[in-house]
Amino acid sequence: MIKNRLWLMPFCVLGLQFSLHAQDIAHVDMEPVPLHLIEAVSSQRNIIISGLDSLKTLSYCDPLHTAEDSLVFNRMRKIQQTIPLALNEKIKSYIDKYSSRNYNPYMSKLQGLAQYYFPIYEKIFSESQLPDEIKYISVIESSLDPHLVSRSGAVGLWQFMYPTAKIYDLTMDSYVDERKDPYAACYAASRYFKDAYDEFNDWLLALASYNCGRGCVRRAIQRSGLQNPNFWQLSPYLPKETQDYIPKFIAMTYTLEHADEYGILVSPTDFAWEAKPVMVEKPIDLQQIAQAVDLPLETIKKFNPAYKRSVVNASTESPKRLVLPDTEHLNDSLLYVALNNQLEASSSMLASNDDASSITKRPSSKGERSITASRTTAKHSATYTTYTVRKGDTLSHIAARFKGVTVSQIKADNNLRSTQLKIGQKLRIKKS
C-alpha cells in the first residue's frame, strides 16, 4: 500500500510548500515574491510533470530485460497518443528489422514518401476526428505505393478490395480508380475506421479488422467467449496474419517516429512541389496541365495516380479531384485554358485527347486573366444543391464530394452545432 502511494508524495510536498510559502508571504505584507520561491515552485512543477509521465504506461508489455528494452519502452510511452501501444518480443523483433542496416534504404524511401502523403492523411483524420497515428496503417498496407496490387486484388495506398471500395463510395471505371487517389481513399478509410471503432470500442481491434475484416473479428470474439476483449486478449483467436499485423503497425509507428535516432534519412521523391488539389467539373486534358506547370506528363500522373488515361472525365454531376504541382514556372493563362471551357465534353474527346498545341493557341482575352480572378467571379454565381445523408457519411466526406466546400461552410449553411449527422438528413450544399 505504501509503495502504491509513493507517487503522490510530490503532490503532498508541493501542497505543503505552497501552504508554508503562503504563510511567509502573509507575514511580509505582500512584498514581491522572492526569486528563490518562484524557482522552488517551478522545480516542484517539473517534478510533478515528470511523475505524471512516469504513470503513462502501455496497453501490454513483456518484462524488460536489457537497457535497450527500457529505452524503447520509455520512447514508446512518450509517442503513445490515442491508440494504445505495446512492447513484446514480436514487436521488438519488427523494430530490430525495420531499424537494421539492410532495411535502411527501404525505410528512408518510406520517410521520403511520408513527407508528401502524411500531411494529406493527417488533415483528413483531423476533419474526421480520428487519431492521426492511423496513417502508419497505410505504410504497412502499401509501402505508400498507390499502384500496389495485392495477390488478393486489393489496390492502392489503403489496399481496398473492390466490394469494400464500392461500399465506401470509391469510383472505379475505365477512366479512374479512386482506390489509388490519396485523398478519396483516405476519406474512405477514415469512414471504415470510424465504423470499426464504433463497433468494437477498441482501437487495435478496429485496426486489426482492417486486415481480416469486421466479420472475422466478430467470429473471433464469439469463439473466445470473452466480453469486450482487447486486441491482446483476442489475438490467439485471430488469423496468424492479423496477429502479426498490429505488432508490425506498432513497430513501424515507433521506428519512423524515431527515424533520426536510427539514421533513417529522407530520400528524395518525385513530389518536390507543394500539391494543390482542386475539384473540376468538366473534362480536363492532363497534357495541357503538364504544359501549364512546365513538367512532364508522367510527373502530373504521379500527382494524380488514380487516372488511367490522360483525361480527367469530370462533369457537374461527377466532379473529380485534380492535384496541381505548384511550380515556379506555372503559366496561369495555359492553366486557365486547361481548366475551363476549352475542351469539349463529347465521347469522341474522351476516347482520344484533343491536340494540346492547337488548343493552347485559342485562349481568349478572358483566358489571359489569372485563375484567381476567374475563381473569384465564380463564387458570385454560387447556387445550392440538396444532399441526403447516407449511412457512414461524415461532414468531411460530404465536403470532399463538392468543389470548394468545407466542413465549416456546411455547418454554417445548415445551422449545425455539431458534426453529428442522421441518415436521411437533408443538407444544403453550396455549388459554383
Q: What is the CATH number of the domain that holds 410?
A: 3.10.350.10
83 in any annotated domain: no
Flag whether 62 is in a domain. Answer: no
Give the HSE-up count for residue 137: Cα atoms under 13 Å, Cβ half-sphere.
29
Question: Band of the pLDDT at 423, cuts 50, 70, 90?
Answer: confident
Would you place residue 28 in the very low, low, confident or very high pLDDT band (cuts 50, 70, 90)? very low
Q: Which of 67-76, 79-88, 205-214, 395-404 has the lowest mean pLDDT?
A: 395-404
Question: Is 140 part of a structural domain of the chain?
Answer: yes
Is the pLDDT at 383 greater than 90? The verdict is no
Residues 293 and 257 in one domain: no
Q: Are 205 and 292 part of one and the same domain?
A: no
Say what the pLDDT of residue 343 is.
46
In a domain, 174, yes or no: yes
Say what the pLDDT of residue 355 is: 46
β-pairing, 383-388 with 320-325?
unpaired
pTM for the full predicted model: 0.69
Does 65 fall in a domain?
Answer: no
Mean pLDDT of the chain: 82
- For residue 197, pLDDT over 80 is answered with yes
| pLDDT(136) > 60 | yes
Among residues 232, 262, 292, the one where a domain terminates is: 262
Q: What is the DSSP letter of 55?
A: H
- In the numeric block, the cell 480527367 is attached to 312
Q: Is the residue at 44 inside a domain?
A: yes
Using CA atoms, how far apart are residues 324 and 311, in angstroms rounded to an integer? 14
Q: How confident is the model at residue 397 (pLDDT cuts 50, 70, 90)?
A: confident
Write the CATH number for 229: 1.10.530.10
Whether residues 294 and 340 fall in one domain: yes
Q: Strand pairing partners for 189?
A: none
> Do 103 and 233 fall into the same domain?
yes
Residues 100 and 243 in one domain: yes
Which residue from 232, 229, 266, 226 is spatially nearest to 246, judged by alpha carbons?
232
Q: Are residues 127 and 243 in the same domain?
A: yes
Rounded to an integer, the average pLDDT of 162-178 is 96
User: Does 416 reside within a domain?
Assistant: yes
Note down the domain range covering 186.
Answer: 96-262
- What pLDDT, on a 0 to 100 scale, did the predictor assign at position 431? 73
Please, is 16 exposed, middle or buried when counting C-beta atoms within 10 Å of its C-beta (0-12, 13-18, 19+)? exposed
Torsion of CA 278, 282, 288, 293, to 10 degrees: -10
**How confident is the model at residue 93, as a pLDDT?**
97
Cβ contacts of 110 within 8 Å, gap of 6 or more: 139, 143, 144, 256
Same domain, 2 and 48: yes
Give the whole-angstrom CA distance, residue 392 versus residue 263. Answer: 41
Judging by DSSP bridges, how do beta strands 275-280 and 320-325 pair with one another? Answer: antiparallel
pLDDT at 335: 87
The per-residue DSSP string of 83-103 comes to S--EE-HHHHHHHHHHTSTTT
Q: Count of domains in the chain?
A: 4
pLDDT at 381: 47
Per-residue pLDDT, 108: 97
Q: Are residues 336 and 253 in the same domain?
A: no
For residue 222, the model assigns a pLDDT of 97
Q: Are residues 19 and 107 in the same domain?
A: no
Give pLDDT, residue 20.
41
Residues 157 and 238 in one domain: yes
By DSSP bridging, strand 60-61 and strand 86-87 are parallel
pLDDT, tens only, 115-130: 999 999 999 999 999 9
> Which of 130-144, 318-332, 368-382 is least confident?
368-382
Q: CA 348, CA 346: separation in Å to the nearest integer?
A: 5
Contact assessment for residue 188 and residue 194, using Cβ atoms and an 8 Å cutoff: no
Same domain as 362, residue 221: no
Rounded mean pLDDT, 160-172:
96
In the chain, the percentage of residues whose pLDDT exceeds 70 is: 77
Task: Examine residue 100 and state whether it is found in any structural domain, yes or no.
Answer: yes
Q: Are residues 112 and 229 in the same domain?
A: yes
CA pair distance 343, 284, nearest whole angstrom? 7
Per the DSSP assignment, residues forming a β-bridge with 277 are 323
